[in-house]
Chains A and B, each alone.
Chain A
Amino acid sequence: EAGVAQSPRYKIIEKRQSVAFWCNPISGHATLYWYQQILGQGPKLLIQFQNNGVVDDSQLPKDRFSAERLKGVDSTLKIQPAKLEDSAVYLCASSSGVTTQYFGPGTRLLVL
């Protein structure tokens, strides 16, 4: 079974630019998550989707971050405009209901 796919793997941008990340979950997984992991810390949930509806986006900085999952499968996470403190690894995970979450390889973002 294929795992969670993410792209790009690395991205370097300058502050105030915009960036987008893509995630393809494990086939059949209705629940998709985006986490942000700052260096030296554990991942923190940004947003959770159930099919194409948002379950939890309480920790998403909505003035600059947005995410969508239009057809209930792939998802994109966008940052516009980026700040220096957005430098982190962005992890996508998926699960089949309220069970084990499986993580993708992550996108490492560096904002200069």
Chain B
Amino acid sequence: GIQVEQSPPDLILQEGANSTLRCNFSDSVNNLQWFHQNPWGQLINLFYIPSGTKQNGRLSATTVATERYSLLYISSSQTTDSGVYFCAVVRGEYGNKLVFGAGTILRVKS
């Protein structure tokens, strides 16, 4: 099946710093989503981005489908950005099953 690799596995930032999280996938995909899992376990949708670039406030994401990677940018990080960031992809022939990476643990210190 498709493999999803995220890097770095964990990251510690000072409040106000910027960061880039990477997601590599091993095959073509129909769908790619980025999620933030907060300390209470809730998975929050950040982006639905099978290709192209999107921005939402301090967050932006870029997916280059032909090169099989996606990037999530966090600018001016805040302590509330702490948590686990997951990338998940869908291969069309498997229904709409999301295959998740292992996640990046982000800690933002004040």
Question: Is chain B's interface secondary structure helix, strand, loop, or mixed overall?
Answer: strand
Q: Interface extent on B, as a size class?
A: 20 to 34
Q: Interface extent on A, as a size class?
A: 20 to 34
B100 interface residue (CB < 8 Å to A) = yes
Number of A-B contacts (CB under 8 A): 61
| Most central of B41, B45, B96 by chain A CB within 10 Å | B96
| Most central of A41, A55, A91, A103 by chain B CB within 10 Å | A103
A-contact bits for B35-53, CB 8 A (1 contact / 0 none): 1000011110100100000
Given contacts A42-B4, A43-B100, 13 further A-B contacts (CB under 8 A): A31-B96, A41-B102, A42-B101, A43-B86, A45-B97, A48-B95, A89-B41, A93-B98, A99-B48, A100-B33, A101-B33, A103-B45, A106-B41
